[in-house]
């Protein structure tokens, strides 16, 4: 439901994280998720032993990048895409989809020690969970 608003409404990162926290809190309140259970497992695919939820922040980043790629492709016939692209170029940095996508892409490309450690932890947890499931 939120995906449709990404790129139209100017979402701040704090708002997106707050929505994610609220979702997890609701799962806990309605006893669908244990308070001490692993949060990362919520976002692992069901086929890999997780719950299969979509992380809102990751969906936001993916949608912004997809919209920016669509606007940057060369559509010679489509006059409306050219109008949107020219409008985007006049927007300030915080409101421009293309500039936001460039910033997100740069964040994803940069090696971040903290996220590398977290990714290693997630991969390790996935591997252990996969081994456990195979044993049963």
- Give tens-digit pLDDT for 9-67: 888 889 999 999 999 999 999 999 999 998 889 999 999 988 999 999 999 999 998 88
- Sequence-distant (6+) residues with CB within 8 A of 3 are 59, 63
Question: Higher-confidence residue: 60 or 91?
Answer: 60
3-state secondary structure of 32: coil
What is the pTM assigned to this prediction?
Answer: 0.71
Please give the residue range of the domain that contains residue 25.
2-135
pLDDT at residue 22, as a whole number? 95
Work out the angle at residue 71's Cα, subtended by the Cα atoms of residues 106 and 82, and round it to the nearest 5 degrees.
Answer: 140
- Structure-token pair, residue 14: 């704090």
The stretch 107-127 carries a mean pLDDT of 63
Task: Calculate the average pLDDT of the chain.
Answer: 81
Total structural domains within the chain: 1
Question: Higher-confidence residue: 59 or 113?
Answer: 59
Please give the Cα distance from 67 to 83 (Å, whole number): 15
Please give the Cα distance from 25 to 31 (Å, whole number): 10
The size of the chain, in residues, is 136
Band the pLDDT of 85: cuts 50, 70, 90.
Answer: confident
């Amino acid at each position: 439901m939120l995906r449709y608003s990404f790129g139209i409404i100017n979402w701040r990162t704090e708002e997106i994280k707050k929505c994610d926290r609220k979702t997890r809190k609701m799962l806990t309140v309605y006893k669908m998720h244990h308070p001490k259970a692993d949060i990362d497992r919520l976002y692992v695919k069901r086929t890999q032993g997780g719950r299969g939820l979509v992380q809102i922040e990751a969906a936001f980043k993916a949608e912004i990048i997809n919209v920016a790629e669509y606007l940057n492709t060369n559509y010679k016939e489509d006059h409306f895409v050219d109008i949107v692209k020219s409008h985007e170029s006049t927007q300030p940095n915080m409101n421009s989809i293309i500039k936001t996508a460039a910033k997100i892409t740069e964040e994803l490309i940069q090696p971040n020690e903290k996220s590398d450690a977290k990714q290693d932890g997630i991969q390790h947890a996935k591997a252990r969970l996969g081994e456990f499931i195979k044993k049963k």
